[in-house]
Chain A
Amino acid sequence: MAGTREAVADKDKMMRDAVTTTGAVHGGAVDEALARRMRRRGEESRFWWVVPTIYIIFLMLPIYWLINMSFKSNQEILGAFSLWPQNPTLRNYAVIFTDPSWYKGYINSIIYVVMNTAISISVALPAAYAFSRYRFLGDKHLFFWLLTNRMAPPAVFALPFFQLYSAFGLIDTHIAVALAHCLFNVPLAVWILEGFMSGVPKEIDETAYIDGYSFPRFFVKIFVPLIASGIGVAAFFCFMFSWVELLIARTLTTTDAKPIAAIMTRTVSASGMDWGVLAAAGVLTIIPGALVIWFVRNYIAKGFALGRV
């Protein structure tokens, strides 16, 4: 177990070397043609698109249905079954954007998500550096303990969190949710950042010290730019997991900091369900994720693998 992360780093390096060498071999047009033929013979036949397309249609259908509903009036939703809105209306979105109790939910969610991301990344950066560069007393136990928090069921923590933050008078504040979400986001950020940092050769640190850089200056001026993509990915995952979590966020808030996801349950009222507004609110919660995902599309697997692909 001693050489775990060294082994990972070595393997990554070997992998990169292998990729570059094969890339060089492929400079020749003959080889490229061969590779193309190979791929065509294998998984990239003329019908390669069939399976991904069917799968993507399966993924998109429920989302389409939500979007479809969000443009219908309640009478139309309940009255006639149609695959697209017959009388498209923006009324549902208008309800959300004009009622502060609705759109404040989005603002609340975004505030605590951004706070959580900022806190998680700033404490995780030095810790990940320590894990990737140094051996110290209890480092492996600590690393494992962090992982257990990522795996901890939020249901176990819901009630104690409520009592803890009540004791500090933090219930219904954004910072309470931001701090509570650190439970799973800080470990995740440490793991992802450690994975990226281990890919940076230690010689860079040493050269910088020889050149007379102090540690903080080296860290900010040289090291952080080198792992910028890693920071981006870690931030994305903190954003994402804080955005999708509801159980803890709902437990810790009552009105002033209530997340949009919890406000959505309001649509159930005595006069029945307001399906149109519910659908519109749902559509609006999908948009932030859809926007940021483009920037990390090539790293998303690495993030889910806790920095270990």
Chain B
Amino acid sequence: MEKTWNNKAWFMVLPVLVLVAFSAVIPLMTVVNYSVQDTFGGNQFFWAGAEWFEEMLHSDRFWAAMGRNLIFSAIILAIQIPLGIFIALNMPRKGWGVPVCLVLMALPLLIPWNVVGTIWQVFGRIDIGLLGYTLHALGFDYNYVNDPFDAWVTVIIMDVWHWTSLVVLLCYAGLVSIPDAFYQAAKIDGASRWAVFRYIQLPKMQRVLLIAVLLRFMDSFMIYTEPFVVTGGGPGNSTTFLSIDLVKMAVGQFDLGPAAAMSIIYFLIVLLLSWVFYTVMTNYDVEK
């Protein structure tokens, strides 16, 4: 579509600009403010320069949380993307099964995040939860409260349960856009099931997969509520991800300076990722 150059369009964007500036720019400036100052209470602030940033970048606690979060995101992507593609390939294309699958699969996406946590907290308990009780009855020594490994498994299964449907829905939307003619041509050429997937379905899903990977990475990178409800970041610090650590520092210990510096670093990483996302998406659109 040919777009006309018209700077008056700014007036139409203005309400959004004002609103988002109020709810994003002002808070962000507050964070920047804290990150370069020190306080001993009583609303007295002293210039601290880059001190907090140096402290953060040299703090083991920050890098440990970062490391855990990166490992978590990597595991999440490695499970959810292939699983999502596999399920989308096996979804019905027409008939009564389509709406039933779509609605039931999307259901976990609409549950408040702390309720997701609650559901799994209960489900995994060895005394009253179906999962924990069954595993125990089968002789597994499963206890997500005490064992870091079990806590990780629980948090990962919970996230797979919560978000795989997003990948499924996106891939499915890509798959249904493939005209039947493509499949007919493949049949005439005698293409194998794998060839159909590799040369017809996968290229058609490329764009939605890109969105799925980036969205899943970012959302798992800022995960807070669900693991917080299930494990509270424990046992020990084993499931303390970046957001959990940040809230602990800012609200729990009221270490405003370090927390603000960490927020800025955290936000810069997210900004970089958003930029990658945007560039890749727009370049992809141009190529097509």
Contacts and interface: CB of A to CB of B under 8 A. Distances in A.
Contacts of B138: none
B76 interface: no
A122 to B, nearest CB: 8
Q: How large is the interface on B (under 10, 10 to 19, 20 to 34, 35 or more residues)?
A: 35 or more
Contacts of B86: 51
Residue of A56, A160, A302 with highest tally of chain B CB at under 10 A = A160
Interface in A63-98: 63, 65-66, 69, 77-78, 81, 83
Nearest to A50: B90
B283 to A, nearest CB: 8
Contacts of A300: 102, 106, 169
Nearest to B130: A65
B225 interface: yes
Contacts of A274: none
Nearest to B127: A78
A9 B1 contact: yes
Given A1-B286, A56-B105, A289-B111, A134 B3 contact: yes
B266 A153 contact: yes
Contacts of A279: 122
B15 A126 contact: yes
Contact of A190 (B16, B285, B288): B16
A293 B107 contact: yes
A51 to B, nearest CB: 4
Interface of B: 1-10, 12-13, 15-17, 19-20, 22-24, 26-28, 30-31, 86-87, 89-93, 97, 99, 101-115, 118-120, 122-123, 127-131, 133, 161, 164-166, 168-170, 172-174, 177, 179-181, 183-184, 187, 193, 196, 207-208, 211, 215, 218, 221-222, 224-225, 242-244, 246-247, 250-251, 256, 259, 263, 266-267, 270-271, 273-275, 277-278, 281-283, 285-286, 288
Given A146-B16, A158-B251, A293-B110, 18 more contacts: A4-B282, A8-B285, A50-B90, A56-B104, A61-B130, A62-B120, A78-B127, A123-B16, A130-B10, A133-B3, A134-B3, A136-B6, A146-B20, A179-B22, A182-B23, A190-B16, A300-B106, A301-B172
